[in-house]
Amino acid sequence: MTPRKRLVGLGAFALASSLVLTACGGGNSGDDATGDGASTGIVTISNGEPQNPLVGSMTNETEGGLVVQQLYSGLVYYDAEGVVHNEIAESIESDDNQTWTITIQDGWEWSDGTPVTAANFVDAWNWAGYGPNGAKGAGFFEPIEGFAEAQGVPEFDEEGNVSGMAEEPTAETLSGLEVVSDTEFTVKLTQPESDFPIRLGYSAYFPLPDAYYDDTAAFGEKPVTNGPYELESWEHDSEIKLVPNEAYDGPRKAQNGGLDFIVYTDENTSYADLQGGNLDILENVPTSAMSTFEEDLGDGAISEPSASFAAMTVPEWLPEFQGDAGHKRRQALSMAINREQITETIFAGTRIPATDFTSPVINGWTGEIPGNEVTTYNAEEAKKLWDEANEEDPLPDDYVLTIHTNTDSDHQAWVEAVCNGYINDLDIKCEMTGYPTFDEVLNERDKGPDGKVDGLFRAGWSADYPSLQNYLGPLYSKAALAGSNDGRYESDEFDAALKEAAAAPSLDEANVLYNKAQEILFKDLPGIPLWYYSTTAGHSENVDNVEFGWDSMPLLYEVTKTE
């Protein structure tokens, strides 16, 4: 049920890099060292019911995403550290970061016996990019030339909802995609994107076989795939069974006898099953077990930083946060949050105080961005700044600062803690404005100044691909005003900095430039960084080699289980 972004609001995430690796060294089933002696046990994993057909570009939620990742192989894949490796791709090259030439390896096959060709990629991307197909992952093809023509121009009603098309799409395919041969195609982007190869491991970019277009709905129930596993059965709301794909000869070869995804609606239940030995891998430790799970599970406990980041957005349309006084208030609000204390007492150490706008698991992350002193708790300085701002631009006597959030998850506790901090340190009134469900608060946020949001609002974000750009562009660029830039932050300087980073000749240079762009964010504070989420997960004694990737998803093909 949960769109990928939404999960950030709902619970803890999972990610581990090195912690669990040590577990296999001590185990007695170290038969995977040669990569040849794969185990035969069937690994059971807790999951939710996929909310979409099992097709990469249709899936935008973690439950389906985890299954789709096992079924399909894309151009590249990510290892546990988030480093990109070629899977089907032979090479992905560009001289200017704008026109990319992609060659694929020979010899890959679909489960119906047809070969994987360059056209399978181009057709799949064209299908997803064509508006009327309604692909949930369509947005990922926006950087490709011709996307706008294939989407058409929508019409909006007074509430900001799409009501129809002002202009129908003029093209059915993306003009930037071109098949050169069976093993080669080119992609032309509308502007340079230095991190384009990193993005290609995301499920929206997976290829689709020709069989897909015969009956797209039926295909999603019983897909023809090319990944390390094949779908054996999908019993809705109950269980998905995958078996290893014998023909698969890539870097993600299955080391176990198959995967059983068991659908749970209650995390406490899956936790009980893990303890009782009925379940091998638990993706999320329930809130109720947060303070005890490391003791309960021993070697099977996993706790590592994840790619999810939480902030409070300061809407640009609020007069009290504009100008010099507004700027001082933003700084004061950030400095008056005791992140250490809140993450320790409310989240039992499963969240990590944030020092930037991205996440420590992303390549290029640094905790040393000039200007990030505002994320250090400093009550005196905060009070001083707030008072200075009030001298320049006094607030009404009955001013109440509000923090808007959905309350269907564990947000109330930290919002109250932050508010109490403001009340004590800044001597102001502060209240939470709660919304019962996430889509309600989303609705109000989207309306901007016309909505009910008259204070700060909660924002959670996790990356789709391990790139710094994925945090900065979609949230704070002008291009994202129609998307997720809900605070309506506009800065020419920041946009220019992003553009420069996107054109950088190498990824390392790009990362340096992205971090430079973050300095501008720390200057303007369109949002107040709060904390990074952790992956908190677990596994039973029956399995070895359990590793969680940068995206909080287990690397299931590596897991070994002896029968």
Partner 1 sequence: MLWYIGRRLLQVIPVFLGATLLLYGLVFLRPGDPVAALGGERGLSPAAELAIREAYHLDQPFFMQYLYFLKGVFTFDMGVTFTGRPVVDVIAQAFPVTFQLALMAIVIETVFGIGFGLYAGIRKGKLFDSTVLLWSLLLISLPTFVIGFVMQAVVGVQLGWLPITAGRDPDFISLLMPAIVLATTSFAYILRLTRTSVVENITADFVRTARAKGLPRGKVMTRHVLRNSLIPVVTFIGIDLGNLMAGSIVTEGIFNINGVGGTLYQAIVRGENVTVVSLSTVLVVVYIFANLLVDVFYAVLDPRIRYA
CA distances to 64, 256, 281 from 35, in Å: 28, 11, 21
Q: How far is the CB of 58 from partner 1 (least distance, A)?
A: 9
CA distance 154 to 166: 5
Q: Kindly tell me which of 2 and 17 has the beta carbon lying closer to partner 1.
A: 2
Q: Which residues bind partner 1 (CB under 8 A)?
A: 1-6, 8, 49-53, 60-61, 131-136, 138-139, 142, 151-152, 154, 156, 161-165, 169, 217, 220, 236-239, 262-266, 268-270, 272-273, 275-276, 278, 408, 435-440, 442-443, 446, 459-461, 464, 474, 483-484
* Least CB distance to partner 1 at residue 243 (A): 17
**72 versus 264: smaller Cβ distance to partner 1:** 264
CA 482/CA 153 separation, integer angstroms:
13
Do 110 and 116 form a contact (C-beta atoms < 8 A)?
yes
| Closest approach of partner 1 to the CB of residue 561, in Å | 18
Token pair of 116 as six digits: 């994987």
Distances (CA, A) of 327 to 225, 330, 432, 476, 477: 52, 5, 22, 17, 19
- Retrieve residue 374's tokens: 């505002």
486 or 524: whose CB is closer to partner 1? 486
The nearest distance, CB 150 to partner 1, in angstroms, is: 9
Distances (CA, A) of 355 to 369, 377, 469: 8, 11, 17
Q: How far is the CB of 400 from partner 1 (least distance, A)?
A: 23
Q: Which two tokens stand for residue 160?
A: 């900001």
Nearest CB to partner 1, comparing residues 55 and 102: 55
- Taking residue 437's Cβ as centre, other Cβ atoms within 10 Å add up to 12
CB contact set of 394 (below 8 Å; sequence gap of 6+): none
DSSP 527-561: EEEEEEEEEEEEE-TTEE---B-TTS-B-GGG-EE
- Nearest approach, Cβ of residue 325 and partner 1 (Å): 30
- Rounded to a whole number of angstroms, the minimum distance from the CB of residue 272 to partner 1 is 5
Sheet holding 99-104, edge to edge: 89-93, 99-104, 184-188, 177-181
- State which residue, 139 or 305, has the beta carbon closest to partner 1: 139
Least separation in angstroms between residue 237's CB and partner 1 is 4
Give the CA count within 13 Å in the CB-facing half-sphere of 21: 9
| Nearer CB in complex with partner 1: 229/271 | 271
Question: Are the C-beta atoms of 59 and 203 separated by less than 8 Å?
Answer: yes
Strand partners, 548: 16, 554
Residue 6 or 339 having the CB closest to partner 1: 6
**Nearest distance, CB of residue 403 and partner 1, angstroms:** 17
Among residues 108 and 531, whose Cβ is nearest to partner 1? Answer: 531
Q: How far is the CB of 410 from partner 1 (least distance, A)?
A: 16
In the 8-state DSSP scheme, what is residue 61?
B
Of 551, 558, 492, 526, the closest CA to residue 78 belongs to: 551
Q: Which is nearer to partner 1, 29 or 443 (CB)?
A: 443
Q: Residue 343 corresponds to which amino acid?
A: T
CB of 108 to partner 1, least distance (A): 28
For partner 1, the closer CB: 53 or 371: 53
Q: Across the strands, what pairs with 460? A: 310
Neighbour-count burial of 416, counting CB atoms closer than 10 A to its CB (0-12 exposed, 13-18 middle, 19+ buried): middle
Q: Which tokens is 205 given?
A: 């970019």
Q: Which residue's structure tokens are 């093993």?
A: 183
Q: Let me know how many helices (H) and strands (E) the chain has, helices first.
A: 17, 21
Query: Is 427 in contact with 324 (CB distance < 8 Å)?
Result: no
| C-alpha to C-alpha distance for 553 and 498, rounded to whole angstroms | 29
Which CB sits closer to partner 1, 348 or 481?
481
